[in-house]
Chain A
Amino acid sequence: MTDKSVVISGMGAISAAGATVRGTLESFAAGTVNAGKLSLFESPLECPVFEASSLHPPRSEISSNSAPQDGDRTLRLAMAAVGEALRDAGLDSDRDGLRIGVCLGTTVACQLNDMAFYRAYREKGDAPMGAVDRYLKNNLADAVARAVGADGPSATVVNACSSGTDAVGAALSWLRAGMCDIAIAGGADELNRIPLCGFTALSVVSPNVCTPFDRDRQGLNLGEGAGIVVLETQKSAANRGVGSPLRVTGYGSACDAYHLTAPRPDGSGLEAALRAALAEAGVSPADVGFVNAHGTATRDNDKVEGAVLARVFGDDLAFLSTKGFTGHTLGAAGGLETIFAGTALREGWIPASPGFANKDDEIPIAPVTERTGIDTRCAVSTSLAFGGNNSALVIERVGQ
């Protein structure tokens, strides 16, 4: 542990695995996988998805002809998790005088892709501006900052699948630089027709429930959710009497500089990110008790990531992919997985990596196949993104 660590003083999570952190852990304990048929919007695509069914769409959003109002659902998911995280941190009221920054990752909410607006414009050269007005008001970090009255730095990170991890990393930098004392960080993304079509066209979506790291894996399932952590400087936490044992102690990031959609085959970018995160945290690979892997269940990702994890941590590494419980939640993934690594350290166990049955001979290691006790102070969470970005966080538990 170095003195650059920040405290995780609150956590909030919503996904197909649960409406709260506690609900999610119950799903993990029971091994419940809530993949199912798409119900949020109409689509001819028939792949399983992981919907956050606890967040019911308002009646007006359900239509046979068009997708829900894009961007609104992402913000609602984010606010659900932000609310839980602030309560967890003892910050749900009386935030006056605190310098709070907001750094959130997303992929869908930043895009102006409302189908009804565009169809009307295309057909008639004119369109109602409601969707545009909502879009212009709802930069994700900004909207959350306004909602909670945060007046510190505000940025929405759009780094594809590593957005949530990178948002936590950026917030870490803000806190260390004194730009704010507290940061709301993580990410959110809704299940949306645009990425569903797009990832399917890229031939990386599985027709069955995803099986990360499995020999017969066929690709990812899309999910949705939000994973939000409240981070603060040790000084701020001490002033507020916060007693959380969890810390983020290191962040590393490196770009493959290789290809828009394929990872660098030798995994050197991910390895560089991991080693940078470990160095920043002042820990060695042997200190790391387990890794929450990116593990999307695509052929390429799991092969490259598995090889790198084995290279850095050795063949006896305990690791899993929680995407078997949540699907790939895109911008939310990094936030959710930071939380899952932290709660595992706190609770002392990780679930069996869901969906895994058979080791792939092309991957040197295999994830845990049963609930595994964790007696460790240190964990790592990894993210690999389209565009070639690789990011890693080191999360630690202090105290007993």
Chain B
Amino acid sequence: MSAQESNISQHSTPCINGIGIVFGQGRGIARLERALIRGWVPPELLDLSFFRATGFPIYQVPAEALNDKTFSRKIRRADRLSKMAVIAAADAMADSGIDLPDTARVGIIFATAFGPHATTFKFLDDIIDYGDKSVSPTSFSHSVHNAAASYVASVLDIRGPNLTVTHFHFAFQEAVRLAGTWLNEEKCDHVLVGTADECGTAMEFIASRKLHVALDGKMYPFQLRRMPSSVPGEGSVFFVLSAEPAGNSYCALEVDGSAPADIQVINADGMLPDESAYLNALLPHVPVSAYTPLSGSFMTASSFDCAASALMIRNRVTYPPPVTDNPHDLPLCGDSTPAPSRVACVKCGCGGKVMVMNLSG
């Protein structure tokens, strides 16, 4: 066996040691737990001119979740997306309880599907209203996908490698895979891996045209058919991933591991033209759950599933799916489903691609 091959075999599974989240129901891991216990809540309804049927349903991060005086000077110019990411990342660090004497040994990988599109459109407003020669440099510098990761680094003073990746369906999965390689190569002792995607009026318009926005405000993740229902959402989730368990450790996390699972969580989020692909991706007889009716539809929401799954493993509890309409008679999680020690988070993308994240405690 060559030295290069032996490099490949010597790896350990990264551990989730801290989680931070901002989502439609607020901020923090305790808020997520309450949401998972409580079950489905109706979305906000917006009065939008291009969606006349009913109010436009949306799970938006509440303003008070982003209003934190601890950071205010450092993020005074930051847009909503960057604020979401800073708060979720800071919360993940705090949740981990890990003392970090050398932040040059901490990396950041940030994953987003659409980046700060609201700020990009604001910059286009500038060009239209004021002309090419009189645009705001602040808007421009915040309209780039890596602005959020830059803020996370400067607010938390994290000086290791810093990367932003974008992909429509699998940004989070690729970010976690890359973080695993950084830990195995000992580039870092910890990696803050996170996601953020936001709503915004132009994006809501696009959603109203491209998605089957739910008139009753409810997503049905087990219908698994063409034109699935969707309720747009937004949020940010960050994980402290480390080479070993430490601090407030939740569980191990691996992408495309082939481990068996006690529960499968599907990310049926209404954003694929046809969700029946999940039927082929599921392991038979293994209980199934889905939390997209709590997070709402946004491309990086599989990070939300990952957070929920980590909580189930650490808390030794099963959270039932918030919406249980089940035309395919899948074995849904229920009151009698034992708490899992292994969860598979399954996500289907375009072209039949499937990625699975395995969590184990």
Contact = CB atoms under 8 A, between A and B. Distances in A.
Interface string B147-183: 1011101101111111111111011001001101110
B114 A112 contact: yes
Contact of B123 (A122, A198, A272, A386): A198
A112 B166 contact: no
B163 A203 contact: no
B165 A157 contact: yes
A17 B299 CA distance: 38
B178 A4 contact: no
Contact of B140 (A177, A201, A253): A201
Contact of B136 (A43, A125, A201): A201
A121 B209 CA distance: 12
Contacts of A126: 50, 205
Contacts of A44: 131-133
B167 A387 contact: no
Nearest to B129: A122
A384 to B, nearest CB: 12
Contacts of A141: 167
B184 to A, nearest CB: 7
Interface string A62-85: 000000000000000000000000
Interface string A119-132: 10110011101001
A255 B165 contact: no
Interface residues of A, number: 73
A59 interface: no
A50 to B, nearest CB: 19
A255 B144 contact: no
Contacts of B182: 173
B137 A253 contact: no
Contacts of B127: 115, 193-194, 197
A258 B140 CA distance: 18
Given A170-B178, A257-B153, A387-B146, A142 B167 contact: yes
Interface in A198-256: 198-203, 233-235, 252-256
B128 interface: yes
Given A122-B128, A173-B178, A202-B141, A197 B146 contact: no
B167 A177 contact: no
Contacts of A252: 161
B149 to A, nearest CB: 7
A45 to B, nearest CB: 6
Interface of B: 2-5, 7-8, 11, 49-50, 77, 103-104, 108, 114-115, 117, 120-121, 123-125, 127-128, 131-137, 140-147, 149-151, 153-154, 156-168, 170-171, 174, 177-178, 180-182, 184-185, 187, 202, 205-206, 209-210, 351
A254 B161 contact: yes
B166 A156 contact: yes
A155 B181 CA distance: 14
A255 B108 contact: yes
Given A158-B165, A389-B146, 9 more contacts: A110-B115, A125-B49, A194-B127, A197-B123, A255-B150, A255-B153, A256-B154, A386-B146, A389-B150
A354 B7 CA distance: 42
Contact of B142 (A113, A157, A258, A260): A260
B130 to A, nearest CB: 10
A166 B149 CA distance: 14
A160 B128 contact: no
A19 to B, nearest CB: 28
A115 B126 CA distance: 12
Contacts of B49: 125
